[in-house]
Structures are given as C-alpha cells and as structure tokens.
Amino acid sequence: MLTGSDLLTKVKELGDVSKSDLVRASGYVSTKKDGGERLNFTAFYEALLEAKGVSLGDTGRAGIGKGGRKLSYVATVQGNGNLLIGKAYTALLDLKSGDEFEIKLGRKQIRLVPAGADEDEE
C-alpha cells in the first residue's frame, strides 16, 4: 500500500481513471474469505488525506468522545448503583477487555490501580 508522496505521485500519474482502479493500483486491496478481492476505499482515502497533510487520527482529539462531544470527566452513579466510566475514557487510557484493577477507596476518592502494580508505579 502506497503512502505519503508515493501515493500522491501515483494518483497524479494515473490521472483520469476510475476510483476502483486508483485504489487497486495504489495497493489498497485485500482478499475475502471466498477468494474475491475487496477494495479498501476507506484506508485509501485516509492515506490520501494524510499524505496531503490532513490528519484523521486520534492525535489532538484528547477529550473528544463519540460524535465529537467533549468528555466531561464527570461520572454519575446510575439508578441501579453502577458507576459507568465509558468507552471514550477507557480508549484514552488504552485499556483492553479483560484488564484487571484493584479498587482503592480513600476518604473522598476511588482509585483504580492495575492488578499486580506496586503503589509506587501509579
């Protein structure tokens, strides 16, 4: 898959071809289970925008949740007594399904410490 200036050069070189041919020639093709080819238009367009200096990554988006809403950093206890943190926060911390934490209760705080971590590593 071409990226950066190589991708821009290829796009200019091919000129007026179909979008499918452009994606295919740039290497954004994968193979489906049945052996057919799948054109990865999204990856192609993201790479093209990145090559032109437009970043769609998570950089610079700290504090932005789904739909572009800003994270409030406030959690509310739900009616059933659960305290929900939310996917946007776990994504910011790069937490994965199955990660375990010890719950440390203070006088007016709750701390989540990764299981097995020393107190000094926090």
Query: How does DSSP assign 51-89, residue by residue?
Result: HTT---SSTT-TTB-GGGPBP-----B-TTS-B---HHH
pLDDT, tens digit, for every residue of 46-94?
888 888 887 665 555 555 555 566 777 788 888 999 988 888 888 888 8
pTM of this structure = 0.46
Cα separation, 43 vs 55, in Å, equals: 13
CB atoms within 10 A of CB 7: 20
54's tokens: 């437009």
- CATH number of 66-121, picked from 2.60.40, 2.40.50, 2.10.260, 1.10.3470: 2.10.260
pLDDT computed for residue 100 by the predictor = 92
Cα separation, 91 vs 94, in Å, equals: 5
Q: Which amino acid, one-letter code, is at 37? A: E
What is the arithmetic mean of pLDDT over 114-118?
Answer: 80
CA separation, residue 34 to residues 25, 29, 30, 39, 43 (Å): 22, 14, 12, 14, 21
Asked whether the CA dihedral 77, 82, 87, 93 is positive or negative, the reply is: positive
Q: Where are the domains of the chain?
A: 4-51, 66-121
